[in-house]
Chains A and B, each alone.
Chain A
């Protein structure tokens, strides 16, 4: 067959029970935020001498959130939730990709000022291309190098946005 469409992605649909529990947990969190807003709103002051105070709007939004949260809790507890399509959870490989991607981003955020843009960024990209996008290692190295150069040109040269250099003197003397 030459007319084949894309094979469907492999997905793991969320069971109704998990969906319900996730809804319930979020609904409770929302209600708690609502309650917190009401109290902090009172603390900031609802009314100055002749006009609404800084706590006025947070208080109002808190009341609304509390009411809506209560309805949501009731809906989750009594199985009155509407599901839109099938939300799915990632499989093991999907989880690994997500965790690796997030870890790579945190690594960049933590090291960019120490190692400088060039090293931190290309290291992050290497993880993203090699382990998340699953390119072969040598292709990942090429992709990471090319993109680091590309981003450097776009920001540093075209937009004149300075990118950080390393705070390690040895590296900085190399200009990275």
Chain B
């Protein structure tokens, strides 16, 4: 069967009432996540991981994917009405979206963002369908290629995740260490179990991820006194003809920018929407209107971040390499259900893979409906006090962790991971590389050990093939580049700190002289 007939069959699966309901639930949850500042898609998908056990793989991934792309829609609402980005990727939207809301055009900003998001997502999906045959190419990959590919993905995610490459790489190594615990599947030797029988099967990755992303994010949220926000009132929703005309090209360009940037590991949501924003300002006939409520400044970035939210899944589905924390969590959902994302997914379980892709088409239609006629419902939701929502989510996570194996042990694992994640956030250690290596650890270790077994210990097997050589060299180059950038930024920071100190000194001297 070719791709299109599989896709049709996928639609048949999605239109079963049960799956349709799950897509709807995922979209609604994604919207809520988007609307809540300080609660991102990684935390939300981790929150629902335990439930995916009982749902089965197709249904589980449909829900998780819907949360991921749904959150890209929801982030807009707070950006426009509160000047607070619900997600990092909607930071660019606050620049003009909030100004539009203050001019009484908040409804139009939201509507254009919804339309742009929908088109961006469709472009992303089309690209997804066209990219699937490329996964055939990855079928020929052996262990050395997979090892090189995971190293490459890790190098880029580490470099783009934070400003310090040292901290990011350490984060990656910590994730690997978590993966060591348990019986080594090749030799049968238990490693790092400290005599605890609970650890023989390894640390369950679900509570670890729930803790690192969910609990730590909630702790950051409850530690501060958030004041309840007052959203700007919205009257009309429907944009004018001029609005549509001015937005058409930014939406088209945003779709393309978002699609290609989404393919990069590190899925830089904020960077993508800013790229689109800058491009629109450069190409605009009235760049002076940007920052003062130009609709192009909402249309472009919002489209780009939704196109990215779809194309960001392509590397996971076709190569089996997660490119962001949320994708790593999705990979976890695949593996706990006994499926391995990557080229073999389309060979062995095409029904699952295509049903998920079809669900994204349906999900985006649902989101368009949720965002155009029902926009005011979400605005009403903004009035629920945040602490109450956080308490609710915390309770849900605890019972979720318990039900994974009906044991309190996983609650403790989640809590410890949460505290570690909280601490690491405070000292700017990025968490995305940890999520990546936690799920990739077994694949990386197996790929490396199998490669060396094949070559009888000769490490040159890792660079014998041009592809692996290029990937490993590119990884080295990326790490060197990010390290250089870090050194440069550190110098600048200390220079500006010295300058600030000098200014203060001068001011104090001046005051004393004046006396």
Contacts and interface: CB of A to CB of B under 8 A. Distances in A.
Interface of A: 3-7, 9-11, 14, 19, 22-23, 26, 30, 33, 37, 40, 44, 47-48, 50-54, 56-58, 61, 64-65, 68-69, 71-72, 75, 79-84, 87-91, 93-95, 97-98, 101-102, 105-106, 108-110, 112-113, 117, 121, 124-125, 128-129, 132-135, 143, 147, 151, 155, 159-164
A53 B184 CA distance: 10
Given A6-B227, A72-B166, 10 more contacts: A6-B84, A6-B230, A30-B170, A64-B169, A87-B426, A93-B225, A94-B222, A105-B394, A133-B385, A164-B406
B223 A72 contact: no
A40 B102 CA distance: 62
Given A19-B427, A82-B486, A101-B219, A155 B170 contact: no
Interface in B381-429: 385, 387-388, 390-392, 394-396, 398-399, 402-403, 406, 408, 411-412, 415, 419, 423-429
B391 A133 contact: yes
Contacts of A108: 398, 411
Interface in B64-92: 82-84
B380 interface: no
Given A6-B82, A47-B457, A90 B230 contact: no
Contact of B391 (A7, A71, A132): A132
B86 to A, nearest CB: 13
A129 B184 CA distance: 43
Contacts of A75: 166
Contacts of A143: 388, 391-392
B456 interface: yes
Interface stretch (B26-34, B460-468, B488-496): B488-496
Interface residues of B, number: 75
B142 interface: no
Nearest to B483: A71
Contact of A84 (B176, B177, B390, B428): B428
B163 A84 contact: yes
Interface stretch (B324-332, B340-348, B446-454): B446-454
A34 to B, nearest CB: 8
Interface of B: 51, 54-55, 82-84, 102, 162-164, 166-167, 169-170, 173-174, 176-177, 180, 184, 186-187, 189, 191-192, 218-219, 222-227, 229-230, 232, 385, 387-388, 390-392, 394-396, 398-399, 402-403, 406, 408, 411-412, 415, 419, 423-429, 444-445, 448-449, 452-453, 456-457, 486, 489-490, 493-494
Contact of A133 (B51, B390, B493): B390
A103 to B, nearest CB: 11
30 contacts: A9-B225, A22-B427, A30-B174, A44-B191, A52-B452, A53-B187, A54-B184, A54-B186, A57-B448, A58-B180, A65-B170, A65-B177, A68-B170, A72-B166, A75-B166, A80-B494, A84-B428, A87-B425, A91-B224, A94-B223, A94-B225, A95-B223, A105-B394, A109-B398, A124-B398, A128-B394, A128-B395, A133-B385, A133-B391, A163-B403
Contacts of A44: 184, 189, 191
Contacts of B230: 4, 6
Contacts of A109: 398, 402, 408, 411-412, 415
Contact of B191 (A30, A58, A162): A58
Contacts of B186: 51, 54
Contact of B387 (A91, A134, A159, A164): A134
Contacts of B448: 52, 57
Contacts of A58: 177, 180, 191-192
Contacts of A110: 408
Given A83-B493, A102-B415, A9 B227 contact: yes
Nearest to B385: A133
A54 B189 contact: yes
Nearest to A50: B456
Contacts of A87: 425-428
B176 A61 contact: yes
A133 B187 CA distance: 50
Looking at A64, A69, A101, A113, the one whose CB has the most chain B CB atoms below 10 A away is: A101
B223 A90 contact: yes
Given A5-B83, A129-B391, A98 B396 contact: no
Nearest to A164: B406
Given A6-B227, A9-B224, A82-B428, A147 B395 contact: yes
A102 B223 CA distance: 12
A71 B219 CA distance: 30
B180 A57 contact: yes
Question: 7 closest A-B pairs (Cβ-Cβ)?
Answer: A90-B223, A133-B387, A94-B223, A51-B453, A128-B391, A109-B411, A109-B408
Contacts of B453: 50-52
A80 B486 CA distance: 10
Contacts of B227: 6-7, 9
A26 B385 CA distance: 35
Contacts of A95: 223
A113 B166 contact: no
A50 B218 CA distance: 48
Contacts of A132: 222, 387, 390-391
A52 B411 CA distance: 35
Contact of A80 (B395, B426, B490): B490
Contacts of B391: 125, 128-129, 132-133, 143
